[in-house]
Amino acid sequence: MSARRARGALLTVEGVEGAGKTTQAARLVEALAASGREALLTREPGGTALGRDIRRMLLALDGEVPAPEAELLLYLADRAQHVRRLVGPAIERGAIVVADRFSDSTIAYQAHGRGLPLETVRVIDDFARGGVAPLLTFVLDLDPEAGLARARATGPADRLESEEIAFHRRVREGFRAIAAASPGRVVVLDASRPVDEIAREIASTAMRRLEGA
């Protein structure tokens, strides 16, 4: 038991706006903690103090609109800080880190959504991550219109949520393409189902994978 608990890992929850990532990431951390593991909930952008400043710059609707390349680098600046100050050290000490968004969001939003070159995005993301990668990723798949309706019910739309629906459709296809290319790491879940049902499936899949890790 102690040898197993000493091995940390990163688990990520991904998907379109309003798919339920924040809800499910919190439920997964609860389930892991209940099983006796050190579990840490974090998110991107905004998992560190510097990241919270970057998050405000990225999601504000006022101010200058970043060029797609600048937007990419801001997300990756957040990731570089997050990985080195929080995620990496937590994994090193044996914690299970659950991140509400990580690198797959960059591939889906900045490469598939914005149209930046996929290979360039991958290379810079690798540099930002510095070798930290998720053991397991849950993609919550949902019609973007349904997700945006959920998100709008919780508050005003931010800069990314305000993008045209075609952008959000490309993002959804991006997540599906990532899942198809990495079936061993990425589990796609129908996010239109009830919260409890999805949470049970995520928890049991994560426990099984961690036991085998």
Residues near ligand T5A (CB under 6 A) are 15, 17-23, 43-45, 75, 101, 105-106, 109-110, 150-151, 153-154, 160-161, 191, 194-195, 198
Q: Which helix (H) or strand (E) holds 143?
A: none
C-beta of 82: minimal distance to ligand T5A in Å? 9
Q: How far is the CB of 184 from ligand T5A (least distance, A)?
A: 22
CB of 2 to ligand T5A, least distance (A): 34
Are 137 and 188 within 8 A, CB to CB?
no
Q: Taking the complex as a whole, how short is the minimal distance between the CB of residue 193 and ligand T5A, in angstroms?
A: 6
Output 39 or 107, the one with its CB closest to ligand T5A.
107
Which residues have a Cβ under 8 Å from the Cβ of 103 and sit 6 or more positions away? 12, 79, 125, 129, 133, 134
- C-alpha atoms less than 13 angstroms from C-alpha of 60 in its C-beta half-sphere: 11
Question: Of 91 and 107, which has the nearer Cβ to ligand T5A?
Answer: 107
Report, in Å, the least distance between residue 94 CB and ligand T5A: 25
Residue closer to ligand T5A, measured from CB, 38 or 201: 201
What residues does 12 pair with on adjacent strands?
99, 137
Residues in the chain: 213
The amino acid at residue 62 is D
In the bound state with ligand T5A, the residue whose beta carbon lies nearer, of 7 and 119, is: 119
Burial class (CB in 10 A: 0-12, 13-18, 19+), 183: exposed
Nearer to ligand T5A, 116 or 210 (CB): 116
